[in-house]
Structure 1
Amino acid sequence: MPDPLVLGFDTSAAHCAAVLLRGDRVLAERHEEMGKGQAERLMPMLDDVLAEGGADWAALDRIGVGIGPGNFTGIRLSVSAARGLALALKIPAFGVSVLDALALGAEGPLVACLDARRGKVFLQVHGRGDSAPVMADVDDLPDGLGGLPCVGSGAEAVAARIGGTVQAARFTPASAIARIAAVRSLDGLERPAPLYLRQADAAPPREAPPAILP
């Protein structure tokens, strides 16, 4: 049976990234840094990746999407796109934690960590009794991290606090997401769901809503 053709994408951080993957072979890949505009760029980028890889939407077997943690709006965008595409194409979509993607292919334990801004990081230990993903203050990190290598956009800050080293991820975000999705089991498959570790920046209104008169 041939390896599945997988489209992976991610907009959980200040980028728009996509890859077309079959087995270990990347057929096409795009990665563009952008602080905003992912909503307008994502679908054209997916079209470009498919065209460059010599495929069309009907040829896809699976979708992999980054579910965060990261930017609230970016996560919601990608997850919604993955759900819609999976429904339209009648193929499975797999949600992949970006922290898991960072750790893919690593040798030995490490801390996957992402800059969460405001002096905070999203982090997760891999390869040593894997922990659950958490958000923590850089100055008040969980115990037991001492000396571990760190990978991700928050690696330098975390490594400086725990006496660890900084290392590069083995794969780009979209490529890692697609690779994980390619080997995920279909048993118990659920729709991709956002991994939010922090509430959205938008705050609820402070004033009470107007009363509705009879």
Structure 2
Amino acid sequence: MPPKPSVLAFDTSAAHCAAALLSGDQVTTRVDAMAKGQAEHLMPMLEEMLHAAGLDWADLDAIGVGIGPGNFTGIRIAVSAARGLALGLGKPAIGVNGFDARAFQEALPYSATIPAPRDQSYVQTFTDQGASAPEQTESPAGPQKPAADLIAAVAQIAAARLGTDTGRPAPLYIRSADAAPPRDPAPTILP
């Protein structure tokens, strides 16, 4: 692992496209608010960030990605982009969940909360002994850290995990999707 790795991290699990470029000790962040269209917006945004820093894809040591919890489709956009980039670049993709990003550099014990649908929240508590299992609660999430701080934490955590066996990034879902199969019968296919 390089002493000061270059890591490009991104997250689309909320109503934004967020990215951070960690290069040496410098972290540059960008958060573009958007309710939809993240899939089309993400790659040009990442290209712009690299170009502004005078870097190319080959200069990266790793890809960091926010794996949720959050918007079902948004999580899948970021995770699939990270896996594709890792495969194409031959670089590791490192998933970082939203709880770890929120708890980054916080004093323990710390309860990380993430807004959930229907005015509820997802909660995970961190102590000196480790972390509890994430769960969904009936209470709304409290004050949230800015998205720029969270994506910077994803980049820094990914850099710290570089060189360890993290496996491929995979979405973190606390509950199943709201989507339901159609009630109408499938059409008959004629021979």
TM-score by length of 1: 0.80
SS of match in other structure, 2:169: coil
Look up the equivalent residue of 1:104 and give its one-letter code. F
**Runs of 4+ with >6 A deviation:** none
Q: Does 1:133 find its partner at 2:137?
A: no
The aligned counterpart of 2:89 is 89
- Given that 1:58 and 1:89 are in contact with CA atoms closer than 8 Å, whether structure 2 keeps it comes out as yes
The aligned counterpart of 1:200 is 177
Q: Does 1:114 find its partner at 2:114?
A: yes
| Bigger Cα Rg | 1
Look up the equivalent residue of 1:101 and give its one-letter code. A
The aligned counterpart of 1:176 is 153
- Partner Cα distance (1:45, 1:13) in 2: 16
CA RMSD of aligned residues (A): 2.2
- Partner Cα distance (2:179, 2:160) in 1: 37
Deviations 1:119-164 (A, max 9, x none): 321111123541111222218xxxxxxxxxxxxxx214xxxxxxxx
How far residue 33 of structure 1 moved from its aligned partner, in angstroms, is 1.5
- Given that 2:67 and 2:98 are in contact with CA atoms closer than 8 Å, whether structure 1 keeps it comes out as yes
The aligned counterpart of 1:144 is none
SS of match in other structure, 1:205: coil
The aligned runs of 1:1-214 (5 Å cut-off) are 1-26=2-27, 28-129=28-129, 130-138=131-139, 154-156=141-143, 168=145, 172-210=149-187
How far residue 186 of structure 1 moved from its aligned partner, in angstroms, is 3.1
How far residue 24 of structure 1 moved from its aligned partner, in angstroms, is 3.2
Distance 1:10 1:212, change over 3 A: same
- Given that 1:115 and 1:121 are in contact with CA atoms closer than 8 Å, whether structure 2 keeps it comes out as yes
TM-score by length of 2: 0.89
SS of match in other structure, 1:77: helix
Distance 1:17 1:49, change over 3 A: same
- Given that 1:10 and 1:173 are in contact with CA atoms closer than 8 Å, whether structure 2 keeps it comes out as no
Look up the equivalent residue of 1:32 and give its one-letter code. D
- Partner Cα distance (1:194, 1:21) in 2: 23
Q: Percent identity?
A: 54
Q: Work out the number of aligned pairs and report it.
A: 189
- Partner Cα distance (2:106, 2:55) in 1: 30
How far residue 169 of structure 1 moved from its aligned partner, in angstroms, is 6.7
Deviations 1:150-190 (A, max 9, x none): xxxx214xxxxxxxxxx747971211101000011534331
Distance 1:72 1:168, change over 3 A: closer
- Given that 1:14 and 1:33 are in contact with CA atoms closer than 8 Å, whether structure 2 keeps it comes out as yes
- Partner Cα distance (1:29, 1:102) in 2: 16
- Partner Cα distance (2:40, 2:102) in 1: 26
Distance 1:55 1:202, change over 3 A: same
SS of match in other structure, 2:84: helix
